[in-house]
Structure 1
Amino acid sequence: MSAAVTTAPQDSAGFWKTRYTMLLLNTLGLAISYATRVNISVAIVDMVNGTALREREAAEGTQLVRDPDSCPGELVLEGPGGRKEGEFVWDMYMQGEILAGFYYGYTVGHIPGGVLADRFGGKVVLLFGILVSSILTVLTPLSAWAGYYVLFTNRVLQGLAQGGIIPAIQTTVCTWAPDHERSLFSIIFLGICVGTLVSMAVTGILCETIGGWPLSFYFFGGVGLLWCVPWFFQAADSPSQHPSIDPAERNYIKATIQSAAKNGIISAIPHITGGAGNLIFVWFTGFLLRKGRVSKTCTFRIINGLGTLVPAAALVVVALMGCDSTVIIVMLALSGFFIATDCTGSYLNMQAIAPNYAGTIVGIVNMFANLTGIAIPYIVGAFTNTNPTRSAWNAVFYLSSAVAAVSYLIYAVFTTADEQPWNVPPSERAQKATANEGIENTAFDKGVTPMADGDRTQKGRWKANVP
């Protein structure tokens, strides 16, 4: 009697698979969620009336000039090309609260989002998150005109709606990605970088059009609403629920996928702690800079060290502890918390060295970040595709930790917080020999007061009045 021969499952014919459509829609959905999240950080520059704010609060001496192309009586901030004033008189605290409002809701939204994704599937949770946040994005200009508290509430609700997006995506990946294609499906998280970059670039362009800053919210909110249409008709919680998937592909995924150990709630943990970490590290960075007990350069070294070395150490602990799920969850939470320093460490550092070219510098840095995001799935696949064992994943963790440690060492040695001489063109520097160089960088010039000429720094900037 011959033994039964087990044949390997056969995938559907053709290059494009239904699961690739799911991958693409998830990537675009994540990109849209980040685009609607961050566009206000660019648009708020055009929303705020800096002149009225300085007149009200006697702020620190930004020069005002008349723009020959502006309406009669209109004042604009001095700077490359000039910029028209906005219509809202929000001080720095109010602006900070508006930007932070999203994270208040986002932090709270993860746990219910994870529970709902596990109970009802990722399709409806992701649809709800992007649909609601897109509608609120379209309503952002109306909310701003209605008042500061209405806009703040809008941002909180956006964060609350988006809290379930990451858990929903993780749940979807667990039901659609064959085990040997998990590294491929991690491409979804490129949507974070793509959405952020596109949002910052396009928002800046739209703010300069005749539609002004409201157009940026209408645009990205509209894109999000359009995304909901193909997601509603083409997405499904699992291959078995998809109405038009090739039966061969459905059977192939079913045969090559195993029950995942992680679920929506566990996947949400780094983002829950990350939202809390974002708020805490914003305060902590400001505290260090305000008190002046350490230099700006040392402040950035401390913040970026926490955001790089602590997650690297957490990966080593995960590798060493093996199957202890409690420790792994704690390490995930710890990593998410400290990775949140990215928003206050590296970005502020880039703004400090060249405020006139901060956008260009961020674009260059994020370009290289995107390149690593493209390479990572292939590197991970090289370790795990043919050998999906714990030892193979441990090798990935150790390599990641080593890269993080070396990267931070290079950063710590070569970083600076000093404004670079190329920040201001030579011709402009000559014209402003007796004035502040470049544009006002309010993030780092808190407490600056005019002093006698003999008290100027070597670069011609006013000394900071540090308590």
Structure 2
Amino acid sequence: MDEKPSTRKGPDFCSLRYGLALIMHFSNFTMITQRVSLSIAIIAMVNSTQHHGLSNVSTEEPLAETLNNPSRSFKKFNTGASVYEWSPETQGIIFSSISYGIILTLIPSGYLAGIFGAKQMLGAGLLTSSLLTLFTPLAADFGVILVIVTRTVQGMAQGMAWTGQFTIWAKWAPPLERSKLTSIAGSGAAFGSFIILCVGGLISQALGWPFIFYIFGSIGCVCCLLWFTVIYDDPTHHPCISVKEKEYIMSSLAQQPSSPRRSVPIKAMVRCLPLWAIFMGFFSHFWLCTIIISYLPTYISSVLHVNIRDSGVLSSLPFIAASSCTILGGQLADFLLSRNLLRLINVRKLFSSLGLLLPSLCAVALPFVTSSYITTMILLILIPGTSNLCDSGFIINTLDVAPRYASFLMGISRGFGLIAGIISSTTTGFLISQDSVSGWRNVFFLSAAVNMFGLVFYLTFGQAEIQDWAKERTITRL
């Protein structure tokens, strides 16, 4: 049976916990803009059609040749920015490199954040990512190898920042508000994707593509000041929280084990099928989402044949739907729970099903509607929007099954997702380099198949009860 959480009403949107959700929203906004900056900038960085009178060097230059002769990898663009000869395979590796970095730090950062506190670790990751964003244009001029290294280290910094958020929510979010609070914070990623894609093309045309990195790197540095000033690891140590709100949060979390853990039950976790259901959900979800985030501007530019400014604006539209669906999905999930209309596990499986099935249908339909500009855009808008319904499904399911280990397990979950992102980005670059039309069709069909695998696995094995290994340790050690 699901443990019944405290239903006593606490302060709502004027409360400090919603203020923290808003700050995390802007932190996630900052990190995703820094990650997606390259997706819109790369259209100008490799667009050989925008410069003339230059020697005819193939843009299909293999990665090995580019790596061995980095001085050959760029030419001067007439705005003062460089244009690089990066093949689709090379671009796929560059897009994947940030995921390599994230996956290296997700598990250890989640574990350490649970022990030492998340505030300092998240703030350091955000600051490092911001500084590396400022450095990216200079790295590109030194060659593709340094770009890959820079993006990998930036990924390590973002891995630190993403994971520890669930350590904070395990102590700040009352059970009946988890979907709502985490969706407000998580929607910053979709909103950030919308903003960077919307204005990135305009910045590139007006100032040159390096200013995309300079502007959003600077915004990240400013956001760090807000983070270190306002965020605290738990409500008991925050100097500005009201007594009423503190009592409400603490009483609502009283049924959950909260004593410091001294070891992680790895063997029990490995044998836990509900955890594997979450991991497979993340793998499937991240597969398609990474393709959309990384390749959407390229897809719109190549399929709809629009310039960088219009490509950026059109690419931003899907993330309006994504941001809206994240927040509305969280509101609806908590409404269903608070009114006892559905059990917790049914809510998690409902939103997981919607978040995996609907974007799969849209992806499968895309290759057949390329002749229709409007239909293509509608489907591209629906894919990120419906995908983000998963935020109220398996994405926060670790807070249900093992709240004491939420940050550690979120690190592992995102690790599975980022493995999928690495494979999908590299595979996409390879497939579209062979043949653009059939390549994109195979990319979307494969993504739909992966989504269906994850959905079936989660519906079969997903649970929402606190697992025995996540609660017995508190009882036996007291």
Superposition TM-score tier, normalisation by shorter sequence: 0.5 to 0.7
> Superposed, which structure 2 residues align to 1:120-159 within 5 Å?
120-159=116-155
> Superposed, which structure 2 residues align to 1:36-435 within 5 Å?
36-48=34-46, 50=48, 55-57=56-58, 86-92=81-87, 93-186=89-182, 187-210=184-207, 212-258=208-254, 326-339=272-285, 340-344=287-291, 347=296, 353-356=303-306, 358-359=311-312, 361-387=314-340, 391-398=343-350, 400-401=352-353, 404-405=356-357, 408-409=360-361, 412=364, 416=368, 418-420=370-372
Amino acid at match of 1:380: A
Amino acid at match of 2:326: G
Higher relative helix content: 2
Secondary structure, aligned partner of 2:240: coil
Sequence identity (%): 25
Residues 354 and 420 in structure 1, CA contact (< 8 A), matched pair in contact too: no
Deviation at 1:180, TM superposition (A): 1.8
Residues 99 and 152 in structure 2, CA contact (< 8 A), matched pair in contact too: yes
> In structure 1, what is the Cα distance between the partners aligned to 2:173 and 2:271?
22
Pick closer, same or farther for the CA change 1:197–1:132 going to 2, 3 Å: same
> In structure 1, what is the Cα distance between the partners aligned to 2:365 and 2:90?
36
Secondary structure, aligned partner of 2:241: coil
Pick closer, same or farther for the CA change 1:127–1:225 going to 2, 3 Å: same
Residues 49 and 85 in structure 1, CA contact (< 8 A), matched pair in contact too: no
Secondary structure, aligned partner of 2:56: helix
Deviation at 1:21, TM superposition (A): 1.6
Deviation at 1:421, TM superposition (A): 7.4
Secondary structure, aligned partner of 2:239: coil
Secondary structure, aligned partner of 1:196: helix
Secondary structure, aligned partner of 2:206: coil
> In structure 2, what is the Cα distance between the partners aligned to 1:155 and 1:414?
30
Deviation at 1:384, TM superposition (A): 1.0
Q: What's the CA shift string for 1:191-233, capped at 9, x where partnerless?
A: 11011111112221211223x2221111111111111112111
Deviation at 1:147, TM superposition (A): 2.8
Residue 21 of structure 1, aligned match among 8, 19, 35? 19
Pick closer, same or farther for the CA change 1:96–1:19 going to 2, 3 Å: same
Residues 97 and 151 in structure 2, CA contact (< 8 A), matched pair in contact too: yes
Residues 76 and 83 in structure 2, CA contact (< 8 A), matched pair in contact too: no
Secondary structure, aligned partner of 2:84: coil
TM-score (normalizing by structure 1): 0.64
Pick closer, same or farther for the CA change 1:167–1:343 going to 2, 3 Å: closer
Task: Give the structure, 1 or 2, with the largest relative contact order (CA under 8 Å, sep 6 or more).
Answer: 2
> In structure 2, what is the Cα distance between the partners aligned to 1:400 and 1:58?
40
Deviation at 1:136, TM superposition (A): 0.7
Amino acid at match of 1:342: C
Deviation at 1:35, TM superposition (A): 0.6
Amino acid at match of 1:154: T
Structure 1 stretch 24-33 or stretch 342-351: which is displaced more?
342-351
Q: What's the CA shift string for 1:318-362, capped at 9, x where partnerless?
A: xxxxx9981121112112212212333794765664232654553
Secondary structure, aligned partner of 2:190: helix
> In structure 1, what is the Cα distance between the partners aligned to 2:360 and 2:9?
45
The count of aligned residue pairs is: 346
Residues 193 and 366 in structure 1, CA contact (< 8 A), matched pair in contact too: yes
Unaligned runs of 5+ in 1: 1-6, 61-73, 77-82, 264-322, 424-441, 450-456, 458-467
> In structure 2, what is the Cα distance between the partners aligned to 1:327 and 1:444?
33
> In structure 2, what is the Cα distance between the partners aligned to 1:165 and 1:45?
28
Residues 383 and 396 in structure 1, CA contact (< 8 A), matched pair in contact too: no
Amino acid at match of 1:89: Y
TM-score (normalizing by structure 2): 0.63
